[in-house]
Structure 1
């Protein structure tokens, strides 16, 4: 964060200094909400959570080097006391971003946000100093924390924005007003909360509505292949740049193909030229994500060849998202267990099928270890059934459905699609899945693990990657 005095922070947040002997003391370290992450000169923001109250850790934070605490009440150490810590944090972020004048790139979508954000970050970092959202910290707390990591040297600030309802993205764009807004897609993630795809589109479109006009540099980067996203061009005064495989897309891909390992390769076209891209990521769905990143980089002035080179060198930055690890015994584990919705589940299954092509040459099998997809409301049964059917259509060797009724719906879909033998099985929990896989896996197998984050199915992948998870040659 740019250095600010405690007096300046109190003024920005409308707070009251408490137990601060010298208001001219400056915050020179990061703003954190975990006392274990405090560095010298930090500002510790104390949030009262459901299970832990950050105010109880204020003294520890100052003892560890924090210059002061942003708090809702006096805490016995130097603090700026505010009416609402969350709103104060947002006000601080807005002030800092406004002073910096950095290019703010915001992105949203139903699926692929974090993977695309990571691609954009790596491409732009090759061009100029860039700060981006770590992991999926895309809410009213995570977003300002990310923005406050920006400094005078930061040229690009890349912010992922999530939404749980109407008005959420509008609020986030008010904290860190973007010049460039990217909408990836409108799917069925959280459809149980929103009530329908049209409502999801309404919420995601708040991003393009917040952009400045074209005359002021505003640019909306929209998916030409998603009708609900393409239609958002009518909701913004910003210039529109389309990406996708549609013929009229400004940034598009041709000659899309897959490597034997399941990594996509294609020719990238922008208004300034073309270049060859081979991604290190797995699955054809990353082509759209890469095009979105390329469109943002094009808007910010990078050449097509610079973009193609940076995309070809980009890796997965965020954990548990199509993390591919080959064990010493030849079993490949694909940990995509951070989250799941119908769109990302289908994409992951197709990636597994592509990776399995090479595995089957060596006698390996493909395993889909799938758990529930949350927040689908009345669409849950149909969506789980459809995923089970797709696993069969893609010729996945083994479907392991983990959990309760959603697992039975996954297996029902597989059964109705023609999986009548031992190709699919329901197990009660993650440990049961681990026990089954440890007894059945053999060299050459490829295992996909995926479910909604709340299920914690990453335990399966992590257990299989531990030393005891390896299997003997059989």
Structure 2
């Protein structure tokens, strides 16, 4: 019965969403890609908000979230000028229904990589899935594509809409040059386009984040945001939580928290960020690697790269024993193998050096962001795997023991309900 009710509610939301979408006069922008889409969408929304009323939805990027966004808001003409939605693929034919519901005026594609391996198997299948967003563009729509990725650039073939490209390639419409980042110096870059050259300074700690930056900037410029306003907004954008987020503690370590995802294709980029950092001490905490083909040797390959750039490497989780670290590295403290996030947190607190840089890299299931949060909060939720997809900051219950989460949420909802009722009674009295 519960499944039937859930299915009926899902259909009802989709019906309401389809009716709501044509009522809005806003420009709808869909952003997808194997990596970088959350940052690109959030940055684009941040830029557009300086140009007109904007609604941005990232991280909650499946069709249920899109339907809820559309049917609950029921935008009227003039209320919102831009809607930015991040579209995520969770399996074969999951983007197409979202794209057809969104009916985007603009489609942005960051890159194609082999993620969700069990579902897609090949890069070509991933590209076909991402292309659904481009194919759903409204007449006269705009596709903003990564010129450096042949699978993304291939989406321009047979296009019945306008296409602009961005990338390091000389022929890109928005050509990226002079990328520099070496922590604590943040990313800076230049973008050359038909309007001239735009100098950009960001708050990102890594050079590879030029890609979502360029995607957002190219889209904003194409939508008519003045270049000087684009540059000013880029300079004030803070990285998303757990996506190359910088957390500096008072008298303790500097954390680079990249615990939202860890596909094999991007692991080396995170290590390169640490290698280029200009700090005295460096450590790397590695949890779960996600979506890789082949054997568990990937953990050994990662350790061979890590030990060359970090003073200490800490492996945590069920695959911690797969590092292949030699006994000399273990005895000398170059490698530490632990099982739970709390053990890592305790170890770092015992051994921390002021000003050292610690990269926390993992897929989201381990919620390793708690290691950094424990320096500024009283973290009490240390269950190794909680099953929640949202980060600890989004959940907001990391200061509550996991076994008390359900009761805590019930009490909070009850209090909110009473507060809502009191506000209604007060309003009646004022009448």
TM-score higher than 0.5 here? yes
Go from structure 1 to structure 2 and tell me whether the alpha carbon gap of 1:386 and 1:295 turns closer, same or farther (over 3 Å shift): farther
Go from structure 1 to structure 2 and tell me whether the alpha carbon gap of 1:193 and 1:426 turns closer, same or farther (over 3 Å shift): farther
Tell me, yes or no, if the aligned pair for 2:373 and 2:379 is still in contact at 8 Å.
no
Tell me, yes or no, if the aligned pair for 2:92 and 2:119 is still in contact at 8 Å.
no
Alignment of 1:8-407 (within 5 A): 84-134=8-58, 136-147=59-70, 148-149=72-73, 151-152=75-76, 153-212=79-138, 216-234=139-157, 236-258=159-181, 261-316=184-239, 318-355=240-277, 357=278, 359-360=279-280, 365-376=281-292, 378-379=293-294, 381-393=296-308, 395-405=309-319, 407=320
* Offset from partner CA, 1:207-252 (integer Å, 9 cap, x none): 112123xxx3211111111121111212532221111111011112
Shift of 1:146: 2.9
CA distance in 2, matches of 1:432, 1:197: 38
Go from structure 1 to structure 2 and tell me whether the alpha carbon gap of 1:402 and 1:94 turns closer, same or farther (over 3 Å shift): same
Go from structure 1 to structure 2 and tell me whether the alpha carbon gap of 1:419 and 1:237 turns closer, same or farther (over 3 Å shift): farther
Shift of 1:155: 0.8
CA distance in 2, matches of 1:420, 1:284: 34
- State the secondary structure of the residue aligned to 1:379: coil
CA distance in 1, matches of 2:38, 2:69: 14
Tell me, yes or no, if the aligned pair for 2:143 and 2:161 is still in contact at 8 Å.
yes
Go from structure 1 to structure 2 and tell me whether the alpha carbon gap of 1:129 and 1:392 turns closer, same or farther (over 3 Å shift): same
- State the secondary structure of the residue aligned to 2:166: strand
Tell me, yes or no, if the aligned pair for 1:371 and 1:457 is still in contact at 8 Å.
yes
Tell me, yes or no, if the aligned pair for 1:371 and 1:402 is still in contact at 8 Å.
yes
CA distance in 2, matches of 1:429, 1:200: 33
Which aligned segments of 4 or more residues in structure 1 are displaced greater than 6 angstroms? none
Q: How many residues align?
A: 376
* Offset from partner CA, 1:333-360 (integer Å, 9 cap, x none): 22222222123433332223333x1x21
Go from structure 1 to structure 2 and tell me whether the alpha carbon gap of 1:83 and 1:338 turns closer, same or farther (over 3 Å shift): closer
Tell me, yes or no, if the aligned pair for 1:111 and 1:343 is still in contact at 8 Å.
no
Shift of 1:150: 6.1
Alignment match of 1:447 (pick from 351, 355, 358) = 358
Go from structure 1 to structure 2 and tell me whether the alpha carbon gap of 1:433 and 1:330 turns closer, same or farther (over 3 Å shift): closer
Tell me, yes or no, if the aligned pair for 1:169 and 1:207 is still in contact at 8 Å.
yes
* Offset from partner CA, 1:260-301 (integer Å, 9 cap, x none): 514111112222222211101221111111100011112211
CA distance in 2, matches of 1:178, 1:382: 42
Shift of 1:126: 1.1
Tell me, yes or no, if the aligned pair for 1:205 and 1:235 is still in contact at 8 Å.
no
- Consecutive unaligned residues of structure 2, counting only runs of 5 or more, are 381-431
Go from structure 1 to structure 2 and tell me whether the alpha carbon gap of 1:391 and 1:303 turns closer, same or farther (over 3 Å shift): same
CA distance in 2, matches of 1:299, 1:468: 44
Go from structure 1 to structure 2 and tell me whether the alpha carbon gap of 1:297 and 1:382 turns closer, same or farther (over 3 Å shift): farther
- State the secondary structure of the residue aligned to 1:254: strand
Return 445-454 or 286-295, whichever deviates more: 445-454
**1:27 alignment partner in structure 2:** none
Tell me, yes or no, if the aligned pair for 2:288 and 2:366 is still in contact at 8 Å.
yes
